[in-house]
């Protein structure tokens, strides 16, 4: 059913949805990777497409930036469109010396500076973790695609502030083994848990914050091919 943020009809989305933050990246994936892709949503410029990849139905729709935006779109996909799996694909800033530009980071868990979990009134600190079946499928697929050496699975940090990181803060999270910082995964993981659905975050390292290294805007939009292939092949693997 259409919502205030989504004009798609029931059945317009596939069981698995890839969610980049950037609408242009969603369009790029639909244009370059999906067969027979059709636009199913364009409310507020948040483009959503459904097509197929190697015969498997797959959708791709932007989430926008930050946890509030991801929370809205992922909630509606899970609850109103019968989506089972959401794979966030986006960029992240590495805070581990082991991780370099263009490497892939898979979020097993998503620590956060957000108070998003307080809505559940749990009386404690909730651990936002990915869905194990999606993680297992992703890592199996990474091995098949010969991406294991550049794919790192571990804890990530979902931050509410893009410009809020200080060197001291980065060093503290890094010392706890956190691999990278992004802005959406924790809300996605919590929405999935509350809905009884599945979620995973796969990010390409666009910035190495410890070494002050950065990719260009064009590289961020179109240069993350390995991440896109890994997510799409994981969607296929889930159907086996």
Residue 10 lies in a domain: no
State yes or no: is 207 an active-site residue: yes
Residue 7 lies in a domain: no
| pLDDT confidence of residue 43 | 76
Residue 82 lies in a domain: yes
Angle CA 90–215–93, to nearest 5: 50
| pLDDT confidence of residue 4 | 67
Overall domain count for the chain: 1
Q: Show Cβ contacts of residue 171 under 8 Å, excluding neighbours closer than 6 positions.
A: none
Question: Which residue range(s) make up the domain with 65?
Answer: 16-238
Residue 56 lies in a domain: yes
Given the residues 82, 103, 125, 207, select the one marked as catalytic: 207
Residue 5 lies in a domain: no
Q: Which sign does the torsion angle of CA 68, 159, 195, 42 carry?
A: positive
| pLDDT confidence of residue 6 | 75
Residue 158 lies in a domain: yes
pLDDT per position as a tens digit, 67-102: 999 999 999 999 999 999 999 999 999 999 999 999
Residue 8 lies in a domain: no
Cα Rg, the chain, nearest whole Å? 17
Q: Within 13 Å, how many C-alpha atoms sit on residue 131's CB side?
A: 23
Residue 161 lies in a domain: yes
Residue 165 reports pLDDT greater than 90: no
CATH number at residue 172: 3.40.50.1580
Mean pLDDT (whole number) for 175-200: 98
Please state the length of the chain.
240
């Amino acid at each position: 059913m259409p919502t205030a943020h989504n004009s798609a009809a029931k059945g317009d989305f596939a069981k698995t949805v890839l969610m980049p933050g950037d609408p242009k990246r969603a369009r790029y994936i639909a244009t370059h990777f999906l067969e027979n892709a059709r636009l199913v949503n364009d409310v507020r410029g948040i483009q959503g497409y459904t097509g197929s990849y190697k015969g498997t139905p797959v959708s791709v729709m932007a989430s926008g930036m930050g946890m509030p935006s991801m929370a809205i779109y992922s909630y509606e996909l899970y609850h109103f469109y019968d989506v089972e799996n959401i794979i966030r694909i986006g960029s992240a800033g590495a805070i581990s010396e082991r991780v370099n530009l263009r490497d892939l980071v898979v979020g097993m868990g998503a620590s956060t500076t957000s108070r998003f979990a307080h809505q559940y009134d749990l009386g404690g600190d909730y651990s936002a973790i990915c869905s194990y079946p999606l993680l297992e499928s992703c890592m199996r697929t990474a091995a098949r695609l010969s991406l294991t050496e550049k794919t790192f699975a571990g804890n990530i940090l979902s931050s509410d502030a893009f410009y809020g990181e200080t060197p001291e803060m980065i060093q503290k999270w890094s010392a706890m083994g956190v691999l990278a910082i992004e802005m959406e995964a924790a809300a996605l993981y919590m929405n999935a848990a509350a809905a009884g659905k599945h979620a995973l975050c796969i990010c390409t390292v666009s910035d190495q914050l410890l070494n002050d290294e950065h990719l260009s805007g064009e590289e961020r939009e179109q240069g993350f091919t390995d991440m896109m292939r890994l997510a799409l092949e994981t969607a296929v693997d889930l159907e086996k």
